[in-house]
Structure formats: structure tokens, C-alpha cells
Amino acid sequence: MTNVPLKLPADYWLNFSISKRDIEFLQNYLFESEIPLDESELASLLVVERIRQERESLLKQQKSEGAAIYIPKESYSIGQKLSFPALNWRKGEVKSVRAGANHQIGAFDVLEMVFDDGSTRLFAAGLVEHALNNPPEETPDPHVDPVQIGLEYGENLSKNLEMVLQADDTLVKVAGLWFPRALLVDIGQGHLNLAEAVLEMAAGAPLSVAALMEQVDLPGGVNAKLTEFSINYALQEDGRFDEVGPRGQVLWCLKRLEPEEVQNVPAPLKYTPIEYDRATLTPQMLALEAQLDDELSDNEQKPLKSDEVTLTLSYPHWRAGTLPVSARVRNFFPTAYESARVRFILVDARTGEKIPAWVVREQGYVYGLKAWFEKNKLIPGAQVIVRRSKTPGEVILDPRTHRSTRDYVRTVLTGSDGGVVFALLKQELACDFHARMVTVVPDVAGIDQAVAQLARGRRTLEQTIHNVLQELSKLTPQGHVHAEELYSAVNILRRVPPAPLLVALANSPDITHVGDLYFRLSASASEE
Amino acid sequence: MSIVKPSLQTRFHIDFDWWRQNENDWHVHLRSLLCPEHEGAFSGQGVELMDFVDPETAEVHPMDGLQHTILVHCARQPGFVTAQTQLVEAVFRTFLANGNSPLSPVELAERLNRPANTILTTLAGPRVYRGLRPARE
């Protein structure tokens, strides 16, 4: 039989809608295979199945219309209906047959075909040598190639499938994997209490389900994968437990043993959203926003593909012992299918020390570095290299420290009245830093007090910017301050991402942009 | 024939019926296209009718032996179409060489290295050159 070349419309996968039949197919597949699968695996299966269905339907259509597929080597008789693959499956009926006249080819017949539109054309039959006698393999149509479809539409298909599966009560999802609810092994309250005790003994260190299963007496005689999935599901549904493994790894922890700063955003990182008009941002401002790696920035930067990135520590992150997970550096840190918090290991590039850390995905920060910052004598504005590791679940950190030197750098001082002053003072420096972002903070408690006082006073962002700009202006002869310096200094007193700050700078009547993102207070404002 | 104005995507071919109806020197012109090997083979009049079988679709086009020989042999010889061949003649010869499979001005432009718009303007004008007309799809 001729291989039917399937052609699907160009927008078939773009406008793909998942039917009840598709879901039934996936349910049956999961039932039969007894292997939990994620959305992308299920979407791949669905693509292959849909192509099979479409091909089957095309074949049925060809058969139901009673037309034989035209092949030049075959013989046909008057009245026979034929379908022509080379003419986009046009159908016609043999009206007459005569002998062909071509001594170079030899004996063959000529069919007079009448097509559905009434037109008449002649075709050869009984022709031994012709390309259509042995049709070449179907030319790969990208719309019927599962690999190509996966590359082009896979993400979209997986998202759509996830939405549909979530509305299906017969399936459950654990750590990104779907499985039929009916096949789950019953995990009782006693088993869960035992699991809690085991995790408590681990003192906050996450454990794999395999490690838990070793110590919890589970029902025997069941497929081990099924038992593992069932216990994962039972733990997920119990509020005491938290799944904290990176993508592809299921690790469990007790919620109450997780650090407070992982459960709730640390105070220095807390931001009260400010409304602003992004259209005000110039291309230069947008470029600066992208460069600053602020996790609160609402830009659409693509994650970096390189193996390392240099991050500059802002004061809020230095104070909280965290690193920002900006759009640019997102794929350097482990992610997860569902877990809001992912536990992983940071490795000191110089000492090899392993530091347990957490990615708090939604709020965009990595927690667990306070002691490491102190140990390496890092200051706000210090530069840290983040490097990918070949070991899964690990990320390498290089502090870029060096022997101490003394130099003049911007320093923030606090008065007993809660006031803040910036000055250039000689400080001991033991790390590389960003010249515009650096600020030494000798009195952290004093700053905490100033921050609290500022919050109580309900000062606007514009007022804070005005005051900080006035202070920083005193440090240069021209009184010009770069937006980066302002961003760094304002964030000591209140958390604000670059965009609202830059918009406030652009809109303030008292502030003049002198070029290249340098700003100064207008003469009247600076005299106030 | 379609009254829709031809575009760069409209596919043209040689309408042999047009030749028979409009050009008395049809055979004279075709003979001038014979390769040296076949020049002597068609010296007399009254050439036999032959069925040309399309190599891609197996559609049969009855034509005289002279036309058939040019189509299956002479038109496939090197130098049949060169950069110096005049545009209309080059298009005509291209169709002879490919078995008269319809081609659009864009496709012809790729083969002949001439601007597609120039080809379209020439073929879509009020005068029919060498029987080059839009193909029936």
C-alpha cells in the first residue's frame, strides 16, 4: 500500500486544543505503563498519538471514498475511480483506455480521466518504469515530525496540557510528575508520623524519599516506583512537609525546621510596590536596569548561557545574607517543577567549603550566605562570581578576595538622631568591588535604626532620593551623581528596584539629568 | 482561461495548442532547436504523434515526434539555455527542458538569474510570446 503523506495545517500545533479523547489516551497510557511522567513527556506522547490519529483518519478517508490510489505501473479499467497523490489527492474516473504511443518507452496504456470538476486529462497506466511506482519516503513535513514539534511548540503544549490535567480529578501531580490517583498505594497517618520523626532527626537537612522509605515500614509487594510516588503524594498533601528538591530530584524537609528567612522574605529585601510608568524609561535607563541584576526588576532579559556571571552585592542582599536571582542569572541556580523553595549547595571556589543554601523562587533570592560574607570580609558593592558546577545540585561561588589594602571609599555614617551622612573615608578593603555601588557600612545597627525611623516618617521615594542626592553631591566637586550610585545608596535606606527610582529621577523638577545617567540637584533645590 | 491578473506566483507553461492555432512556422522553429545528433532525423514532413509521459506526475501529453525529441533529449543538452539567450526564448527553452512543467516568474527567475518582475511583465502582457501562457491548475 502507498504510504499516505500526511500534511497538517501550518497552525495545527499553534492552535492545538486538547480533547477528551486525548486525555483518555494519556490516562490509559499512565495506567498501563505505571510510570509517572511530567507534562513535557506527556505532551510528546500526545503529539505522536495525534499524528497517528490524523494519519489513520486520512487513510480511512481515502478508503471510504472508494478510490484506488493511482500508481502508473498498475492497470485500470473503465469506470474505476482513482485518487492522484501527485495532484493533491484529486479524484477522477477512468472514461476510456487506449494503447500508449511511444516506441522509446515501450507498451503502456493511456487512461482518459474525468475529474470531479469535469476536466479531462490523460495518464499513463501499465508503465513499468516511473518514479511514482516506487514513491520515495514521505518528505519530512515539520508539522508531522515529533522532534521538530517538540522544539517549536513543546513549551506551549506542555503549559496547555498542565492546565487541562489540573482540572482532571483522576490524576495527581507530585514534583512535576503525573499519575493516576486510582493506582496510589495507601499511606496511613502512622507512616507520615514516622516520616516526620525521621526528618526531625535529620535536623533540617532534606532527605530523599528513598532514605525515608528505608526507615518507614511501607506495604510490600508493590512496584517500588509506585510506592515512592505514593509516599511523595502523601507527604505533599500533608502541611508538615515541604518538597525542596531541585528539578528532577525529590527531597523532603520539615517546614518548621526551614529557616525563617526562607519562609518569609527578610526585612532588608521587602519592597512596597510603587506605581510608575515604564514608558518614561529611556533605552539608557533600561540598559542600566538590566545590568543591575535586581530580582525585583520587571524586565524580559534572557538568561545568560555563559558558565559564570559576576554579581554585585547591593546593601539589602549583603545585610540579609542573600544573592539576587535576577532574570539574567536565573538559570545559574537550581529550579523546580513545583517547589517554592529549593535546597541546594553552594561551593566556595577557593576553599571547597560547602554551604547549604536555598533558592526562594517566587521572591527571587538565594538565602544562606551571611556567615560566608562575613568570613570573606565582603562589603556592600563587593563583586562575587557565580559559576556553574558539573555536580548536579551544586553552584560555585568565588568571592574575589585579596590581601587587605586601605583606600578612600564611600562610607555611610549614622547620627544619634537617626540621620545619615555619606563621606569618603579610608577603609580596609579585602575584596573586589564595583566603584559606583560600593558603600562601607561600619554601623549596621545604626542603619537599621535609620531605616525604621524613615519608614515611620512615611517619607516618599522622591524625598529620600532628594536627600541622598544632596548628600552624595557633596562628595564630588561638580556635584554630579550617577544613577548607579543613587540606586546603591537609596537601597541602604529603603528597598527599591531601579525602574521606579529612575522614573522618579526623570520626573523630578528639582533634579537635572546632565548626561550619561549623571544627575544633579538644581541650584534652587540644593540651597534648601 | 482565468481572467485573474497573473502575479509573481502564477505558474506559466508553453501552451502547445496556441502554437498550433497561431504560428504556421511551428515546426520550423522547433527544428531550429534540434541538437546536431537529431538535425537530420526530422528532415521530412509528416511527423508521427507520440505520447509524452510527465516524469513527475505520469500525465500523458500527446505531441508530435519532433516536439517529443526536443523535450526528452535536445533540450537537456548543455548550452541549450545560456546567459546570452534572449529572455522569452530562455523561458521557452526552460519549459522545453523541464518537460513543460509549469513554473512561476519567481521560479523562472531563480533558474535564469533574471528579475522575476521583468519575466512577469513580459509574460503577462497583452501579446503572447512563443505560446507562454498561465497554466491551468
Give which of B38, B51, B56, B60 to mutate to test A binding, by max A Cβ within 10 Å: B60
Q: List own/partner pairs for A287-292 with CB under 8 A and 24 or more apart.
A: A288/A483, A288/A484, A288/A498, A288/A502, A288/A517, A289/A497, A289/A498, A289/A499, A289/A502, A290/A328, A292/A484, A292/A487, A292/A498
pLDDT of residue A2: 46
Residue A76 has pLDDT above 90, yes or no: yes
Residue A340 has pLDDT above 90, yes or no: no
Residue A1 has pLDDT above 50, yes or no: no
In order, the DSSP letters of A330-360 are GGGS---SS-SEEEEEEEETTT--EEEEEEE
Q: Which chain A residues are Cβ-neighbours of B58 within 8 angstroms?
A: 70, 72, 86, 123-124, 127, 130, 132
Q: For chains A and B, what is the number of CB pairs under 8 angstroms?
A: 53
pLDDT of residue A126: 93
Residue A528 has pLDDT above 60, yes or no: no
Q: Which residue of A has its CA nearest to B73?
A: A104
B50 in A contact zone (CB under 8 Å): yes
Q: What angle do CA A336, A337, A342 make, to 5 degrees?
A: 25
pLDDT of residue A139: 58
Considering the four listed CATH numbers 2.30.30, 3.30.70, 3.20.20, 1.20.1270, the one that applies to the domain covering A73-129 is 2.30.30
Region for residue A440 given its phi and psi (left: phi exceeds 0; alpha: psi -120 to 50; beta: otherwise)? beta
Q: Which of A105, A115, A4, A117 is nearest to A52 (CA)?
A: A4
Q: Which of A86, A101, A132 sits opposite B49 (nearest CB)?
A: A101
User: pTM to 2 decimals?
Assistant: 0.59
Q: Which chain B residues are Cβ-neighbours of A127 within 8 angstroms?
A: 53, 58
What span, in angstroms and rounded, lies between the C-alpha atoms of B90 and B12? 13
* Strand-pair partners of A354: A347
Whether A131 and B68 lie within 8 Å, measured CB to CB? no
Mean pLDDT of chain A: 86
Q: List own/partner pairs for B79-84 with CB under 8 A and 24 or more apart.
A: B80/B33, B81/B112, B83/B113
pLDDT of residue A77: 92
Q: Count CB-CB contacts under 10 A for residue A390.
A: 6
Q: Residues of chain B whose pLDDT is less than 70?
A: 1-4, 23-24, 43-47, 137
| Distance in Å, alpha carbon of B54 to nearest chain A alpha carbon | 9
pLDDT of residue A141: 66
Task: Taking residues A269-290, report their average pLDDT.
Answer: 90
Whether B59 and A121 lie within 8 Å, measured CB to CB? yes
pLDDT in tens, A28-66: 998 888 888 888 899 999 999 988 888 887 777 666 567
Residue A5 has pLDDT above 50, yes or no: yes
**A135 confidence band (pLDDT: 50, 70, 90):** low
Task: Report the complex ipTM.
Answer: 0.74
Task: Taking residues A229-242, report their average pLDDT.
Answer: 87
Domain ranges of chain A: 73-129, 184-258
pLDDT of residue A78: 92
Higher-confidence position of B22 and A451: A451
pLDDT of residue A257: 86
Residue A337 has pLDDT above 70, yes or no: no
pLDDT of residue B91: 94
Q: How far is CA A474 from CA A380, A422, A423, A461, A477, in A?
A: 21, 9, 8, 20, 7
First to last CA, chain A: 92
Q: Which chain A residues are Cβ-neighbours of B72 within 8 angstroms?
A: 104
Whether B59 and A101 lie within 8 Å, measured CB to CB? no
Class of the A184-258 domain? mainly alpha
Residue A315 has pLDDT above 80, yes or no: yes
**pLDDT-above-70 percentage for chain A:** 94
pLDDT in tens, A89-109: 788 899 999 999 888 888 999
pLDDT of residue B1: 46
Same CATH topology for A73-129 and A184-258: the answer is: no
Give SS3 for B25: coil
pLDDT of residue A20: 87
pLDDT in tens, A420-445: 899 999 998 888 899 899 999 999 99
